[in-house]
Amino acid sequence: MQADADGLRGSVSSYYAERLRQHGATPAGVDWGSAESQLLRFAQLLKLIEWDGAPTLLDYGCGYGALAQKLCRTDEDFTYTGFDLAGEMIAAARAHVADTRCTFTSMESELRLEDYTVASGIFNVKLQAGDAVWHDYVVATLDHIASLSRRGFAFNMLTRYADPHLMRDDLYYADPGRYFQLCKERYSREVALLHDYELYDFTFLVRLSDPPKPMAR
């Protein structure tokens, strides 16, 4: 399973590195259709954060640092770590974000427990992987994200309720009900599912009070 996960991560990292080379540090460079849709997704994810007390935030799959750029335009007191598997993305993020509240890394070993973790778009591109294999990869990644989060984590996924003619074979369209049950049973009793904004995806906000529970898949 670890070898499969490493292979998937490598393939996805290469995919996004190529997107960055083609489109630069833009929403298209991380496979989003527009800056407006990217910002709308950020707005959903950030509903998790309680800004009092200078929270620490991990952006898991930070791309070229678009979320960091958004946060740096605010007066909020926070500490941000951006992580991405693609070294090219981290180089672009460092080039575009000089705020001392923000650091970036492509090394998993450098990640530490933070108050909150957010993940935008990291579960969308499955490439040639089958849905069952990709689901197992999603769950393993969510387990890891939960282990890095003290107060909660948020993530988004493309929805199976998208218009069929717009769906791509290389993307993963998830059943929100399936992942709601997973989050409630595996991670927390405090789970919000946001599926009421004008995009073909949904967002989960998972607030943590107890350690995640092991559960067979």
**pLDDT reported for residue 215:** 46
Identify residue 200 by its one-letter amino acid code: Y
Which pLDDT value is given to residue 180?
98
Instruction: Note the pLDDT of residue 16.
Output: 79
Per-residue confidence (pLDDT) for residue 10, from 0 to 100: 81
Q: What is d(CA 86, CA 18) in angstroms, rounded to the nearest whole number?
A: 10
Report the alpha-carbon distance of residue 31 to residue 126 in Å, rounded: 13
- At residue 2, the pLDDT reads 54
- What's the one-letter identity of residue 28? A
Mean pLDDT by 10 residues, the chain (217 residues): 69 83 84 87 96 96 95 94 94 94 96 97 92 95 97 97 91 97 97 95 92 49
Q: Where are the domains of the chain?
A: 2-207
Superfamily, domain 2-207: Vaccinia Virus protein VP39 (3.40.50.150)
pTM for the whole thing? 0.90
What is the predicted pLDDT for the residue at 181? 98
